[in-house]
Amino acid sequence: MTETSFNFSLEFTVRDYECDLQGVVNNANYQHYLEHARHEFLVSKGVSFSRLHDEGIDLIVSRVEIDYKYPLRSRDRFVVRLNIERAGNVRLLFIQEICRMPDEKLIASARVTGVATKNGKPVSPANIVIQRIEVATPEVIAGR
Amino acid sequence: MTETSFNFSLEFTVRDYECDLQGVVNNANYQHYLEHARHEFLVSKGVSFSRLHDEGIDLIVSRVEIDYKYPLRSRDRFVVRLNIERAGNVRLLFIQEICRMPDEKLIASARVTGVATKNGKPVSPANIVIQRIEVATPEVIAGR
Amino acid sequence: MTETSFNFSLEFTVRDYECDLQGVVNNANYQHYLEHARHEFLVSKGVSFSRLHDEGIDLIVSRVEIDYKYPLRSRDRFVVRLNIERAGNVRLLFIQEICRMPDEKLIASARVTGVATKNGKPVSPANIVIQRIEVATPEVIAGR
Amino acid sequence: MTETSFNFSLEFTVRDYECDLQGVVNNANYQHYLEHARHEFLVSKGVSFSRLHDEGIDLIVSRVEIDYKYPLRSRDRFVVRLNIERAGNVRLLFIQEICRMPDEKLIASARVTGVATKNGKPVSPANIVIQRIEVATPEVIAGR
């Protein structure tokens, strides 16, 4: 994914409690890292989960694909990067990658599909979420 | 604590993801086990968190003391036991212990203090939580 | 996936601490459930992670795909089912699904790819893991 | 604890997945925060868990006391501070507090007792851990 320029990145350090018996970060914790980066991205674009929720809109994940390339270990520094794209009328696709720092070794790449629901029914994110993101940063969803 | 008869017990098996780098259950996960046993106990007594919440009442933990005696390892079976006592007018005290199965080795003992709050202010649990528990099982809070 | 007969299943109950702000099980926790079912399955077939590790063999997850269909909530009962298949020479594919109990509502379906590594290099699982599983239950990997 | 000067502090931000059904950080996660701060402190003093482990020495927690004063919520910033003291011949006492930023509201205070074990038996931390810490920072354990 070298030619992709990512629109958001967030740095982390592995905490010991995130590692498991095998001495590496437990697979499920990568989802935590990916989620936290997505939420920070949305907040940075002015998309507030609680404000949306008050309007009856919820953002939910409908599909996750993660390729685990290399494990993170105790105290590793790493960065989670992401891009966002529309996928059809009602879905958002987050393209994410996790790279160890500072050597940029690719740890995992992920594709996470999100859906916006209004009062429980899928709605076009173009009208709700993307719109808000576009206002702030038109280039974000310009596609690859 | 051999002479104490506990009023509720719940069995678990250690899941691999609950263990950390040192090959034993991470300390924080014992709090999860203790919490889950408390919630199952309260539900078994007809105390519903969501119904209480709808009445403006929340049960919160104000203090935790845990003595870690011996670690649990991958796939260990264990039981979490508890008793409940009043502690003054506004607090409940949960006396809990975790024992490995089937050899009954004491893994941890804990004292967890809970407070009932109504619209954010402490209220006497006697009027709210204990009362409901007493209706179901007078012996539970009869003291040791 | 109605016509698939699964070879292993494990029942769970949602614990409150597994739910997040939105009142449903946090997405990452489904990976915990899926992992725990895989490990219990392998143990049930006599495949011991620690014994394999002593022989220099590690089982790792190289890819996860999860489709989230419907959320689990506090105290829901559910079952995790799985099948295992070879995928080429060096990979194992776990086909998994999570269904709520007792209404069998499909909560999530997953495809998890595992690789066996010996001293850090991928090895054919047919010679190591599958072989052990086949000895115990030839029908398991007979394919769909 | 206003008159205590702490010897180490570490800043965090609450991640959404750390919050539970009640909309606040789950109680067990405070133990994660406290643990991570202790580990970062020890590493900052040149005490390496893995190097100690290679020498047959493990640091374990034998007792935790936490007073929960006020809950942390999604995206709150906070700081974990700590001091370390000897407690008798074989124990270390970590005095820790969690304060919200930037208003310094006290969220939780904790006392965590650690023991150093060599080949499974308690050893005087003065000869092992404290010694290493003292070399680096004599003032740390000067007591209050």
Cα angle, residue C15 at apex, residues C11 and C17 outer, rounded to 5° = 145
* C-alpha A41, offset from chain centre: 8
Residue with tokens 């066996």: C116
Q: How far is CA C114 from CA A33, A111, C37, C90, C93, in A?
A: 21, 19, 14, 9, 6
D36 → closest Cβ in A15, A39, A43: A15
Question: Across-strand partners of D88?
Answer: none
Mean pLDDT of chain C: 85
Give the pLDDT mean for A14-24: 91
- Sign, Cα dihedral of A8, D77, A113, A71: positive
- CA D104, CA B105: separation in Å to the nearest integer? 42
Give chain D positions within 8 Å (CB) of C75. Answer: none
Predicted complex ipTM: 0.87
Quick one: tokens of C26?
């946090």
Query: Does residue D66 or residue A50 have the better pLDDT?
Result: D66
Q: A97-135 pLDDT, tens per residue?
A: 999 999 999 999 999 999 988 887 888 765 667 667 764
Residue C5 pLDDT > 50, yes or no? yes
Q: Are B78 and B72 in contact (CB under 8 A)?
A: yes
Give, as one character, the DSSP assignment of residue D142: S
Q: Cα separations (Å) of D85 from A18, D7, D94?
A: 27, 11, 6
Per-residue model confidence as pLDDT tens digits over C34-78: 999 999 998 898 887 767 777 788 889 999 999 999 999 999 999
Taking residues A80-104, report their average pLDDT.
93
Q: Mind telling me how many Å the CA of B3 is from chain C's nearest CA? A: 30
**Cis amide bond preceding D102, omega within 30:** yes
* pLDDT of C128 over the 70 cut: no
* Residues of chain A neighbouring B21 (CB-CB closer than 8 A): 16, 19-21, 23, 74
Half-sphere exposure of D48 (CA within 13 A, CB side): 7
The whole-angstrom distance between residue D45's C-alpha and the CA centroid of its chain comes to 13
Split chain D (144 residues) into runs of 10 and give each run's mean pLDDT. Answer: 73 95 92 96 83 80 97 96 88 96 98 89 72 54 36
| CB–CB contacts below 8 A, B to C | 25
Choice between D90 and A16, residue whose per-residue pLDDT is larger? A16
Q: So what's the pLDDT on residue B4?
A: 59
* CB nearest to C66's CB, from A60, A64, A67: A64
Are C16 and D17 a contacting pair at CB < 8 A? no
- The CA distance from A26 to A110, in Å, is 16
Closest residue, chain C, to A109 (C-alpha): C63
Among chain B residues, the shortest Cα distance to D20 is held by B32
Q: Is B20 a catalytic residue?
A: yes
Cβ pair D84, D36 in contact under 8 A: no
Tokens 């209004």: give the residue: A118
* Mean of the per-residue pLDDT values of chain A: 85
Task: Scan for tokens 């014992």, then name that residue.
Answer: B30
SS3 C32: helix
Name the more confident of D32 and C20.
Answer: D32
> Which of C14, C44, C75, C80 is best to mutate for the B interface (most B CBs within 10 A)?
C75
- Min Cα separation A113/chain C (Å): 9
pLDDT recorded at residue A126? 58
Q: Return the residue of D nearest to C16 by Cα.
A: D21
Helical axes B27-44 vs D27-44, angle rounded to 10°: 170
pLDDT of residue A141: 42
- Taking an 8 Å cut-off on Cβ atoms, the answer to whether B20 and A17 are in contact is yes
What is the 8-class DSSP label of residue A1?
Answer: -
Burial class (CB in 10 A: 0-12, 13-18, 19+), A35: buried
> Who's near D46: CB < 8 A, 6+ residues apart?
D132, D135, D136
Return d(Cα A123, Cα A58) in angstroms, integer.
10
d(CA D108, CA D99): 7
Mean pLDDT, rounded, for C3-24: 88
| Counts of helices then strands in chain B (DSSP H, E) | 3, 6
Q: State chain C's maximal CA–CA distance in angstroms.
A: 46
Q: What's the pLDDT at A134?
A: 60
Contacts of A62 in chain C (CB under 8 A): 67-68
Q: For residue C93, what are the β-bridge partners?
A: C85, C113
User: Which residues in chain B land under pLDDT 70?
Assistant: 1-4, 50, 125-128, 130-131, 134-144
Determine which helix (DSSP H) or strand (DSSP E) holds D42, and give its type and residue range.
helix D27-44
Local confidence band at C144 (pLDDT 50, 70, 90 cut-offs): very low
